[in-house]
Structure 1
C-alpha cells in the first residue's frame, strides 16, 4: 500500500483552491477507499461541483471517532513560489506544495493508516470526513454536519488534523465577517453640507467598532488560554468615492470579529446596527431621506473550547503522550461539529506558520509523528 508521502504527492497534484472543484480529489480518495473495501458517501453542493466525503469502518452503531480534514486550499496567485505549488517537491527533509501543511498532509496520513485499522476488528466505529470550502468560511462542511446531527450513528469524538505541530489543541476563537454598505447623497464638494458623505459616516461606524474593540480588550474579559486573550474587532477592507470634488454617495467596508468561545460575535454586529439606526441614520436622512446603511453577513463559524477532563481531551492526551493542551489563533470546522454533539479536538502535522504562504511545506518528521499517532489510535480502537 501507499505510504503517507506517496499519498500526499497524489493529493497535492489536485488544484483544490476554494474557487475550483474538489471532485477530482474526492474521486481519487473514493477509489482508494473502494480498493480497501471501504464504501463512502458523497454530499454534493447544489451545483454538484464540490462534495464532502464521509466513510466509516468498524462496527455499526453510534459512537466512535471521526478523523476530519478539509480538501480545499488557499490561492497561490501573487505569491512568490520558487517551487511548483501543485507538484510535491522534497528538499532537506521537507515536502513542499500548496496544502502540504494545511491540510493535505493529515489527510494523506489518515488514508495511509487505514490498512492498519482494517487489520483487526475494531471495538468502535472509525469515521473519515473530508470537506470542501473550509478556507472561505467553513461553508461546505455544514451539509455533512447536518447529516451527522440527524444520524443515530454519529461519532462521539472528532479529531481534526489542522496543523498544530502535532500538539494537542482544545480550542480556538469563533469568527464573524460582516459587510457594511453606506448609501449617502452626492453633490459638488463646494456645497458639501448639501450632500451626505458616505465615507465620513462609514468612518464614524469604523470608529464605533474601535470603541467596541477597546471594551472587549478590558482585562476583566481576558481568557489567558488564547492569544491575544480577548475578542478582537478589525476593519480589513474599505472602498468609496469617485473624485475629490464629489461628495461620495457610496462607501463599503468589511469587518470581522474574532471572538472568544464565551463571547457572541453577533452582539458586536447588533451594537453597530443600533448605533447606526439611533445616531447616524437620523442625521443622514435629515439631509436626504433616501440615505441608508445596510449590513450583511459574509461568513461565520463558532469558536471551540473542549474541556480538558472530557473523553475527547483524554483520548487526545493519550495519543500525544501528554496533557500540555493549548489553543490556536486560527479557526477550524471544530465548533460546528461540537455544536452537533460531537466533542472535537485538534491535532495535526505541520505548522500554520507555513500555511497560506509561498513554498508551503510539511516536514517528513511531522508526517512520521502523525503516522505514529494514528497507529496508537488504531491500537486503542481494536478489540481486546
Structure 2
C-alpha cells in the first residue's frame, strides 16, 4: 500500500532474506547495517560465539538516559512441509494482507522501526531511540541475553523497552515463561522375544511420559480461574520423541523433549520436583538391571516469564503511542520481554499482526495493522523530539 511507503518496501526486503533459525541471519544484518550507514546511524554487532549469527544495536539521537528501545528478532520459523500458496520469502499483497514468512512474526515491526529512522533523524531528537535486533528468538531466545548485556553496559539507561511481537498493536503486560527439557533413556538391546535379557528404553520412557501427561492434566485442573492467560494455567507438552531401531529389538535409546510454560506465579522447578525424583528413581532401577542403562535429563533453555509491572511505565508509554485504552492483557506465548524485564528494564509487548497468523502457512500481516504501526512510529518521533520532562 502506498500509505505505508518505505515500511512496505523494507518489509519486502527483509522477508526476502531466509533467516530461518537453523541458518545465518548475517545477510539481513548486513543489509540493515548498510541502510543505517546511509543515514549516518552508528551501530554495533553482538555476534554469537561462532560468528555465524549476530544481534544488532543502533542508536538514533543523543547518548542520554530516558530513551526507548525498539526490540525485535530477525529469525523466523521453518516453512518445511507447509502448504504455502505463494513463495514464503516474497511479499504477496492480497485482500488487505501482506503474505510472507515473518511478515507477522516479526519483520513487520522491524520494517516499521527502520522506516522511522529518517524521520527520527530529521526531528533532531532530544531523547534517543535504540534499535535492538536479535537472533535465535525462535529457538529458546538464545540471542537476546548477550544483546541485553551490551545495552546495560554501553548505553545510558533507557526508560522503556517495546518488544514488537504481534499483539494487534495493543499493549500486553505479561506472558508465561518456558523451560525446555530433554530426557534420554538408555536401555540394553536384545531380541524382543527375550525380554529378560534387555531393557527397552522406549517402554521405560513411556512411564515417564505418562507421568508428564498426568502432570499436564493436573496443571489444567488446578489453573487459577482468575488467570488472564488462555489457557489459564501452566501447560506441559511433549513435542518430540525419538527411539528404537526395529520392531523386534528392545530399544537401546529413547529421547524426548518437553516444554513447561508457567505464569510468573509458578516456579517450574517446584512444579517438576516430583518428576525429577521419579527420574532419579528410574535411573537407579535401570542401572541395577543393566549398568549401561539409565536416565539423563537436561534443561535445554529457561526463558523467564514476563509479569505485569507495578507502575507499568513501558505499558503506559506504549498505550499512549498506540492509542490503546483497553483492559490489561497477557499472552501465553513466550518472548524476549521477560529477559529484558529480568535485566531491570520496564518492558511492554506491542507490535503489528496477530499470533494466530504466526508460524502458519500463508503467514500474513494486515495492512491495517501496519498502518497502525506506522502511526505508532510517528508518535514515537514526536515523543523523541519533545523536551524531556524536568
Q: TM-score, normalised by structure 1?
A: 0.94
Equivalences for residues 18-167 of structure 1 within 5 A: 18-151=21-154, 153-167=156-170
Post-superposition Cα deviations, 1:292-340, rounded to whole Å, max 9, x if no partner, equal 1011222331110232632112112212221423112221111111111
CA 1:121–1:306: 2 relative to 1, 3 Å: farther
User: Is the aligned partner of 1:291 residue 2:293?
Assistant: yes
Is the Cα–Cα contact under 8 Å of residues 168 and 316 in structure 1 kept in the other structure?
yes
Q: Which of 234, 245, 249 is the equivalent residue of 2:248? A: 245
Secondary structure in 2 aligned to 1:172? coil
Deviation at 1:218, TM superposition (A): 4.0
Q: Where does the alignment leave 5 or more consecutive residues of structure 2 unmatched?
A: none
Match of 1:228 in 2: 231
Q: Which of 164, 180, 183 is the equivalent residue of 1:180? A: 183
Q: Which of 340, 350, 355 is the equivalent residue of 1:352? A: 355
Q: Which of 8, 12, 16 is the equivalent residue of 1:9? A: 12
Match of 2:330 in 1: 327
CA distance in 1, matches of 2:274, 2:66: 41
Is the Cα–Cα contact under 8 Å of residues 308 and 314 in structure 1 kept in the other structure?
no
Deviation at 1:269, TM superposition (A): 4.5
CA distance in 1, matches of 2:259, 2:356: 21
Is the Cα–Cα contact under 8 Å of residues 166 and 347 in structure 1 kept in the other structure?
yes
Secondary structure in 2 aligned to 1:171? coil
Match of 1:300 in 2: 302
Q: TM-score, normalised by structure 2?
A: 0.92
Is the Cα–Cα contact under 8 Å of residues 165 and 351 in structure 2 kept in the other structure?
yes
Is the Cα–Cα contact under 8 Å of residues 12 and 88 in structure 1 kept in the other structure?
yes
Match of 1:189 in 2: 192
Q: Which of 245, 267, 271 is the equivalent residue of 2:270? A: 267
Is the Cα–Cα contact under 8 Å of residues 148 and 340 in structure 1 kept in the other structure?
no
Match of 2:374 in 1: 371
CA distance in 2, matches of 1:194, 1:20: 44
Is the Cα–Cα contact under 8 Å of residues 16 and 90 in structure 2 kept in the other structure?
yes
CA 1:214–1:96: 2 relative to 1, 3 Å: closer
CA distance in 2, matches of 1:95, 1:111: 18
Match of 1:281 in 2: 283
CA 1:380–1:224: 2 relative to 1, 3 Å: same
CA 1:268–1:195: 2 relative to 1, 3 Å: farther
CA distance in 1, matches of 2:232, 2:54: 36
Q: How many residues align?
A: 383
Deviation at 1:372, TM superposition (A): 0.3
CA distance in 2, matches of 1:289, 1:9: 57
